[in-house]
Amino acid sequence: MGVVSSITFAVRFGRTARLDRLQWWYHLSTAKEMALGGCRFGFTAGPKAVERFSVHIERWLHNTRQDLYGNGSIPLCPAPKATG
């Protein structure tokens, strides 16, 4: 059966810096779950899942013409850039 898990990334959006999140859901196969010791709870995403999530976020930022800014633990994603 496997387990479904997610990675969540906090971000502030727009001019008001509204706090929100970007979330990526993924499925962990039964075989992979057993290889990790069979624990369903307390599972931490492996490096490959984090890498895929990073690529997904980079593509999303590029496709929506947005950038992340800031030095703090929660970055700012301003309103999308105007086109044309």
| pLDDT tens-digit readout, 28-68 | 777 776 676 655 555 556 677 778 888 888 998 899 888 88
- Pick the more confident residue, 6 or 2: 6
Residue 55 lies in a domain: yes
**Domain total in the chain:** 1
Residue 52 lies in a domain: yes
Q: Which residues pair with 22 in a beta bridge?
A: 9
Q: Which residue range forms the structural domain that includes residue 60?
A: 3-77
Mean pLDDT for the chain?
78
Residue 82 lies in a domain: no
Residue 7 lies in a domain: yes
Cα within 13 Å of Cα(73), Cβ side: 0
The rounded distance, in Å, linking the Cα atoms of 13 and 49 is 24
Residue 45 lies in a domain: yes
- Check pLDDT > 80 for residue 73: yes
Residue 35 lies in a domain: yes
Residue 57 lies in a domain: yes
